[in-house]
């Protein structure tokens, strides 16, 4: 199940765990990323808490936790090479995996059609 937030995060949800990243639209707005800071594995976040930071040639921006949960894995490849987020934001450029406190909360997020409408 693919979901989106109004803050331009995407979530691919499988079995109560969400892989989270920033959308292609967000990457286009930011420009070339030069730095990524990820959360610690085991950290817990509430929905909309600042979970990660990205810096581009244009600006620094927060990446928000889309739902309540615990970080189970992070993507060290994007720390070593932030350009992976630019080249494949909804694939190899994922940020972290989040064990959802309540998977049903994802129903309140945007689907792909609603997200496209938001960014049109």
- Return the domain boundaries, the chain: 2-119
Q: Split the chain (120 residues) into runs of 10 and give each run's mean pLDDT.
A: 96 97 96 97 98 94 97 98 97 98 96 96
Give residue 1's pLDDT. 87
Q: Which CATH number fits domain 2-119: 2.160.10.10, 2.40.50.100, 1.10.3720.10, 3.40.50.10800?
A: 2.40.50.100
Strand-pairing partners, residue 37, are 53
Residues 44, 72 contacting (CB under 8 angstroms): no
State the Cα–Cα distance between residues 10 and 89, nearest whole angstrom. Answer: 9
- Supply the pTM of this predicted model: 0.96
Residues 25, 119 contacting (CB under 8 angstroms): yes
């Amino acid at each position: 199940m693919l979901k989106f937030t109004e803050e331009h995060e995407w979530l691919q949800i499988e079995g109560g765990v969400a892989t989270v990243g920033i959308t292609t639209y967000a990457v286009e707005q930011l420009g070339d990323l030069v730095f990524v800071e990820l959360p610690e594995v085991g950290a817990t976040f509430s929905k909309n808490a600042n979970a990660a930071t990205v810096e581009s040639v244009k600006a620094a921006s927060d990446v928000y936790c889309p739902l309540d949960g615990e970080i189970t894995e992070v993507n060290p490849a994007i720390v070593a090479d932030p350009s992976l987020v630019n080249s494949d934001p909804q694939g190899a450029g994922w940020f972290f995996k989040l064990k959802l406190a309540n998977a049903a909360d994802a129903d309140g997020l945007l689907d792909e059609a609603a997200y496209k409408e938001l960014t049109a």
